[in-house]
Structure 1
Amino acid sequence: MPSVAPKKRPKDAATRADQMNRGILLYSILLALQYGAQPLISKRFTRREVIVTSSVLTCEIVKVVCALAIMVKEGSLKKTFSEWTVAGALTASGLPAIIYALQNSLLQISYKNLDSLTFSMLNQTKILFTAVCTYFLLRQKQSIQQIGALFLLIVAAVLLSIGEGSSKGSSDGSPDQILFHGIIPVLVASVLSGLASALCQWSSQVKKHSSYLMTVEMSVVGSLFLFASTYKSPDGEAIRQHGFFYGWTILTMIPVIFNALGGILVGLVTSRAGGVRKGFVIVSALLVTALLQFIFEGKPPSMYCIVALPLVVSSISIYQKYPYRVKKKEL
């Protein structure tokens, strides 16, 4: 006698797919809002006196707490850590964690010295460096359209660098301050981000780590590295002289928490939706930054930003739409 179960399976599968799509859409919207608002929130609620290392370390601690709490709620914490080893964690997450810790420190410096929209657009050059690093580490090739998209991104970055470096623009610092404490740090951070992303991709293919476990491992290793660096760094001297929370107010925790949640959302979107949806998030975040900057700061985008913005949006859209495809050999 035929069973009626198969008739229900397609409907059940469709329901699960719809629920997953709604979840991905929610994560994408939240990440776009976080990514777009982060530069403005950091500038508004983080005083210049705040020591960068203290802000980054606190963010990593919050990130670990949030990731562990989610794993407890899902019931995966015990099983995950029963299979965990120190050697495996260091192999999968050690080097990317150190790189990301340096990147976050550089980004904290850039937040304070660049226009919010300019920062967000320059930060997109990390896609270019990710493509380069994944090619050398994973032999991941690019299509002709993707190469063209990366060229558009370089043009946009050059426009922004020239525009912000030759005048004060919408920032309050001198041209030298904008260049050496704004543009250069964010570009170096983009290089580090590309290298770390390629290493994480390699680790996920070999180790099959969950996004939450990777978040915890990288945060712990990165925090230990930063903490060790305080023995010789200027930030370490400032912490010993003024205290860890020098310049902090209760509002300083707002950008810290936002940044930590954003790190978790990146892992969720990437693991569940892939690069196409992440590209949508990045494009949306640029528009969110421009809109919020105009609403809250009353500053319309500069001419350089107006010219560069469509280049950035077009390059990211093209890059995601035309992936490299292996040509089939003709028999």
Structure 2
Amino acid sequence: MPYFCRNNRSIWQGPRLWFTLAILGTISLQMSLIVRSLVNYREDLVLVGKNSSTADLIEGDRNRSSYSWLGGSGIPSGILSELHQHHQHHLKNQQSMTEFVLFILLSFQSGAHPILVKLYMPPNVVRTSVILSQESIKLTISLIMLTIRGSLGNVVESWTLHGAILAAGIPASLFVIQSYCNLMANQTLPPVTFVLLSQTKIIATAWCCFLLLGQKQSKLQIMALSLLVISTLLLQRIIPIRQRFSRCLNIEDTTVNLQTEPTIRNSFPIDSNSTNSTTRLFPSSEIATQSSFVDQHKNVEDNEDTASRLFLMGIVPVLIASFLSGLAGTITQKALQMNHRDPFLFNMELSIFSTMLLSATHFLVGQKQRQPQCAASTAKADTDADHRRQGNTQRFGQSGWTLQTWIPIVSHAIGAILVGLVTKYSGAVTKGFAIIFGIMVSAMLNQMVLTEGNGRGGMSLEELSGGFLGIASLWIHVSNPPTK
């Protein structure tokens, strides 16, 4: 069930206890390990010098390098060069391990978060309060991480408002516009079309990385991105494999339908290819002919209006949202990688800007909704305000917020921090791979947690095929970098 209270079961019963404890324990343990590895990784980069050659390291940076304990004389340059190469190999392995751990954590979190929302998020909770709570938790966790790393003082000294706006203000604005575009498209388009067009964001991310950062994709990597889109459609069951196989093999059902079709026609139903049933009943009637002509003209106009509405209010917004997603991810990657912005500072800035923009848009929407009500009487307005305040109090108190409500909120905040870390150390395209792998994780967790006792077991053919195709696309993308 979407909310665990509907099953009359406590959080401390059944597999949900182990599921929740495993999520919280794993994320807490791995976050502490990540902080330690990031501290060592950053110190090693400062000591060795990421862009320094071996000769410059040996001659110019001997006093502050990690080899200064050997002394300044009597050590052959060949030994120092070998030590330097060994140290660089150690840094590369450490960075690869950090990227791998972050990738796994983000995939697990993005897959587990929808399950946590279904289990522990009440359906009548105020969404604005949930979003503000998520941003507050993300801000608090990032501040704690900066304090643990001991870099809070350096970050505060080097912080500028101009740099914060360029690094986090622009992506936050793009995320707000993207959310409204997705909302408009989701309310207009059919679900299948919306999900299908939303998968273009991984292509948009790779394209924006090429335009803004100069990161090229090899031909095999482009093929891997296409396979990733197909795997996402399989995981979302947009491409029904089982139905296609059944259509090819189930020939008897097609024969029965063809034999029973004349019997159905004799009962005078409304034909799907006809515009009016009057033409079927009275084919020689002049009134029916005129009515059919009028209805055809009206249907043509309605179809044109519907197609125009679907294109302008559905297809265009979802494509804009996909492009803005790729653009925001690329700007984030540029700020974190090229401008060497601290990922935890970036998340703090992003939380502050997102909260400000959310509050501003919420205020503007509220003002626009209150304008048509100005003509109402003062007594009725006061009564409605009292009802709204009473309803908000009830949602915040009795039937809204519970102790378990904070579980998906904390999970979302940690996921946002992981997105920043993966973007910094692996890139925006790899972040897209991790989130899509989270869909496969979500499908597996859905079978383990949400479908207990309903007779359904195992993953579907589409989910298995999409998972294997996603793994293959990741392997192709990682093992075939572009040639320099």
Q: What residue in structure 2 maps to residue 149 of structure 1?
A: 224
Aligned residue runs from structure 1 range 31-46, under 5 A = 31-46=106-121
**What is the CA-CA distance between 1:64 and the residue it aligns to?**
0.8
Q: What residue in structure 2 maps to residue 114 of structure 1?
A: none
User: Between the two proteins, what is the percent identity of the paired residues?
Assistant: 33
Match of 1:231, SS state, is helix
What amino acid does structure 2 have at the position aligned with 1:318?
A: I
Q: What residue in structure 2 maps to residue 199 of structure 1?
A: 331
Match of 1:141, SS state, is coil
Q: Which has the larger radius of gyration?
A: 2
Asked if the contact 1:101–1:223 (Cα under 8 Å) also holds between the matched residues in 2, the reply is no
Asked if the contact 1:42–1:255 (Cα under 8 Å) also holds between the matched residues in 2, the reply is yes
Evaluate the alpha carbon distance shift between residue 15 and residue 204 of structure 1 in structure 2; reply closer, same or farther with a 3 A threshold: closer
Evaluate the alpha carbon distance shift between residue 47 and residue 302 of structure 1 in structure 2; reply closer, same or farther with a 3 A threshold: farther
Gaps of 5+ in 2: 1-72, 186-193, 244-314, 371-384
Q: What residue in structure 2 maps to residue 243 of structure 1?
A: 392
Asked if the contact 1:52–1:109 (Cα under 8 Å) also holds between the matched residues in 2, the reply is no
Which digits, 9 at most, give the CA deviation of each residue in 1:233-265, with x for residues without a partner? 379979965438643322121111011111212
Deviates more, 1:287-296 or 1:18-27: 18-27
Which digits, 9 at most, give the CA deviation of each residue in 1:51-78, with x for residues without a partner? 3332222111111111111111222112
Deviates more, 1:218-227 or 1:312-321: 312-321
Distance 1:107 1:250 in 2: 30
Aligned residue runs from structure 1 range 111-150, under 5 A = 125-150=200-225
Q: What residue in structure 2 maps to residue 97 of structure 1?
A: 172
Distance 1:189 1:319 in 2: 25
What amino acid does structure 1 have at the position aligned with 2:408?
A: P
- Could you tell me the TM-score, scaled by structure 1's length? 0.72
Q: What residue in structure 2 maps to residue 74 of structure 1?
A: 149
What amino acid does structure 1 have at the position aligned with 2:482?
A: Y
Q: What residue in structure 2 maps to residue 220 of structure 1?
A: 352
Distance 1:235 1:311 in 2: 48
Deviates more, 1:67-76 or 1:227-236: 227-236
Asked if the contact 2:237–2:462 (Cα under 8 Å) also holds between the matched residues in 1, the reply is no
Asked if the contact 2:336–2:423 (Cα under 8 Å) also holds between the matched residues in 1, the reply is no
Distance 1:14 1:143 in 2: 26
Q: What residue in structure 1 maps to residue 480 of structure 2?
A: 322
Asked if the contact 1:283–1:313 (Cα under 8 Å) also holds between the matched residues in 2, the reply is no
Evaluate the alpha carbon distance shift between residue 237 and residue 212 of structure 1 in structure 2; reply closer, same or farther with a 3 A threshold: farther
Distance 1:158 1:28 in 2: 21
Aligned residue runs from structure 1 range 164-313, under 5 A = 190-204=322-336, 207-233=339-365, 242-243=391-392, 246=396, 247-273=400-426, 281-282=434-435, 285-298=438-451, 299=456, 300-313=458-471
What amino acid does structure 2 have at the position aligned with 1:145?
A: L
Which digits, 9 at most, give the CA deviation of each residue in 1:106-136, with x for residues without a partner? 89999xxxxxxxx999976532221122234
Which digits, 9 at most, give the CA deviation of each residue in 1:133-152, with x for residues without a partner? 22343443322112222333
Evaluate the alpha carbon distance shift between residue 320 and residue 25 of structure 1 in structure 2; reply closer, same or farther with a 3 A threshold: closer
Asked if the contact 1:121–1:286 (Cα under 8 Å) also holds between the matched residues in 2, the reply is no
Asked if the contact 2:202–2:326 (Cα under 8 Å) also holds between the matched residues in 1, the reply is yes
What amino acid does structure 2 have at the position aligned with 1:214?
A: F
Match of 1:233, SS state, is helix
What amino acid does structure 1 have at the position aligned with 2:136?
A: I
Asked if the contact 2:99–2:425 (Cα under 8 Å) also holds between the matched residues in 1, the reply is yes
Q: What residue in structure 1 maps to residue 140 of structure 2?
A: 65
Evaluate the alpha carbon distance shift between residue 233 and residue 305 of structure 1 in structure 2; reply closer, same or farther with a 3 A threshold: farther
Length, aligned pairs only: 303
**What is the CA-CA distance between 1:105 and the residue it aligns to?**
8.0
**What is the CA-CA distance between 1:277 and the residue it aligns to?**
7.0
Evaluate the alpha carbon distance shift between residue 255 and residue 45 of structure 1 in structure 2; reply closer, same or farther with a 3 A threshold: same
Distance 2:95 2:232 in 1: 36
**What is the CA-CA distance between 1:44 and the residue it aligns to?**
1.7
Asked if the contact 1:36–1:286 (Cα under 8 Å) also holds between the matched residues in 2, the reply is yes
Asked if the contact 1:53–1:105 (Cα under 8 Å) also holds between the matched residues in 2, the reply is no
Asked if the contact 2:106–2:415 (Cα under 8 Å) also holds between the matched residues in 1, the reply is yes
Distance 1:213 1:225 in 2: 18
**What is the CA-CA distance between 1:324 and the residue it aligns to?**
2.5
Distance 2:367 2:467 in 1: 35
Gaps of 5+ in 1: 111-118, 168-182, 327-331
What amino acid does structure 2 have at the position aligned with 1:201?
A: Q
What amino acid does structure 2 have at the position aligned with 1:311?
A: L
Deviates more, 1:291-300 or 1:270-279: 270-279
What amino acid does structure 2 have at the position aligned with 1:322?
A: N
Q: What residue in structure 1 maps to residue 293 of structure 2?
A: none
Distance 1:256 1:48 in 2: 14
What amino acid does structure 1 have at the position aligned with 2:416?
A: G
What amino acid does structure 2 have at the position aligned with 1:292?
A: L
**What is the CA-CA distance between 1:287 and the residue it aligns to?**
3.9
- Could you tell me the TM-score, scaled by structure 2's length? 0.51
Question: What CA RMSD, in Å, does the superposition of the two structures yield over aligned residues?
Answer: 4.4
